[in-house]
Amino acid sequence: MERIMDVIHQRRSVRAYAEKQPGESLVRELLDAAVHAPTAMHLEPWAFAVIQDKAVLKRYSERAKSILRAPGGAVGWGSAGRAPHDHPAMLDDPAFNIFYDAGTLIVICRRQGGPFADADCWLAAENLMLAAAAKGLGSCCIGFAASVLNTAAVKRELHIPAEGAAVAPIILGYASGSVPEVPRKAPEILAWVKP
């Protein structure tokens, strides 16, 4: 039990990767960890797309940046009270790759809708990221990728069903250096109901 607590506390969002790629057997081991996540009504709504082609990842990155920079294309900016053109400056940098030049992207997809399908996919994502940390790999969830991964063309390319969606895009690889700890706030307990 102590070991899992260590992994939880040591996991970091890695944004700088070495050239070395995780091999197929290691990726399959991480996918196996992902599917052992809790799932509502045991529906297991997830499926996976694995991309280890840097040229494809670069193409997806450029397309995502274009979508996110377009007026009205930056999903979520408006919900934060920002104007559509008020996107992060990094999206204007031609050298910025939304996948941080990682060589592996695992896209956790839901095959179809359902009241808890997205939540199940996120639970699988956490299992995958913790398993990656336990195996000495870095990972990072890339929210910027959702816009491009859910276009009709990319969904067809990755065999994501039309009624499904890319939910959790996770980059993986070996960190190119140490990643400092990010301080966390103590849990905010809104209520603790006892008899």
Dihedral (CA of 87, 88, 93, 97) sign = negative
**What is the predicted pLDDT for the residue at 89?**
86
Tokens 């197929």 sit on residue: 24
Judge whether residue 78 has pLDDT over 70: no
**What is the predicted pLDDT for the residue at 72?**
66
**What is the predicted pLDDT for the residue at 73?**
59
Q: Which domains does the chain have, with CATH numbers?
A: 2-82+94-173 (3.40.109.10)
What does the DSSP 8-state code read for residue 39?
Answer: -
Report percent pLDDT > 70 for the chain.
Answer: 91
pLDDT tens profile 24-74: 999 999 999 999 999 999 999 999 999 999 999 999 999 999 999 887 655
Q: Which residues, listed in sequence order, are joined to residue 106 by a DSSP beta bridge?
A: 50, 170
